[in-house]
Amino acid sequence: MGYSVAVVISAAGSSRRMGGLKKEYCSLGPGITVLGAVVKAFAASERIETIVVAVPPDAEKGEFTARASLPPELLQTGARPQVFFVPGGSTRRISVHHALSLLSTFSGEEPDFVLIHDGARPWVDTDLIERTIDAVILHKAVVPLLPVLETPKEINEAGFVCRHLPRARVGTAQTPQGFAYPAILQAHEQAAEQELRTQREYTDDAEVWGEFIGPVAVIPGSPGNRKITFPEDLVPRV
């Protein structure tokens, strides 16, 4: 049975720690930007039908600049997957919510599943994308994790260790994270209401799903799937 899969790419942040650079629009080499590499990686999958990129809401760094940062062949009329843009919000969760909401407005059927990816992870590989699609079809919600190599500790507000966490039970989350749609849209709608009531901020889509829907499955992440945070992160690691 075939399933329709869409992708949401979160690229609406301000890149505060990049020294004035918008990291998704930085060059990775001749003819390719960070965002261009991300979109190209997902466009290579034959199972992905639609890509929605959440971009800054301001005119200077919004849709026009995002379009200019992509390889032209990805935006040609009739190209598959189709690439759309949506203005983001003041937080990552709000930006993702905007993109998920846009998917529900398209003519035709909604996607069965959606992958949500950080626009600052340009080295996502085909294997991880395809494994995430396979896993979300099976489990309805999935997050890639990398093992923690050093023993983690939880500290309290006073600055003292309050819990010694078992390393084998802890991991660091990556994207793409995969979810059944429209359940993840409904979860974001509930998260938005919760944020208004409590001033809480959700920073991870698996966290949103886990609180309002249910369990999230885990698959192995990819060590090469790094996230760009600082200017030095633009240099590929050998």
Q: State yes or no: pLDDT of 238 exceeds 60.
A: no
- Asked whether residue 184 is assigned to any structural domain, the reply reads yes
- Asked whether residue 238 is assigned to any structural domain, the reply reads no
Q: Which domain holds residue 60?
A: 5-232
pLDDT digits (tens, 9 = 90+) for 144-174: 999 998 889 999 999 999 999 888 888 999 9
Residue 13: what are its φ and ψ, rounded to 5°? -70, 170
- Paired sense of beta strands 27-29 and 32-33, if any: antiparallel
Model pLDDT, residue 106:
82
Q: State yes or no: pLDDT of 190 exceeds 80.
A: yes
What average pLDDT does the chain have? Answer: 93
What is the average pLDDT across 55-68?
Answer: 85
Q: State yes or no: pLDDT of 31 exceeds 70.
A: yes
- Asked whether residue 237 is assigned to any structural domain, the reply reads no
The total of structural domains in the chain comes to: 1
- Asked whether residue 95 is assigned to any structural domain, the reply reads yes
Cβ-based burial of 39 (10 A; exposed 0-12, middle 13-18, buried ≥19): buried
Model pLDDT, residue 224:
95
pLDDT band at 13; cut points 50, 70, 90: confident
CATH number at residue 129: 3.90.550.10
pLDDT digits (tens, 9 = 90+) for 32-51: 999 999 999 999 999 999 99
pLDDT digits (tens, 9 = 90+) for 115-135: 999 999 999 999 999 999 999
For residues 104 and 56, give the distance between their C-alpha atoms in angstroms, rounded to a whole number.
21
Give the count of beta carbons closer than 10 Å to the beta carbon of residue 133.
21
- Asked whether residue 179 is assigned to any structural domain, the reply reads yes
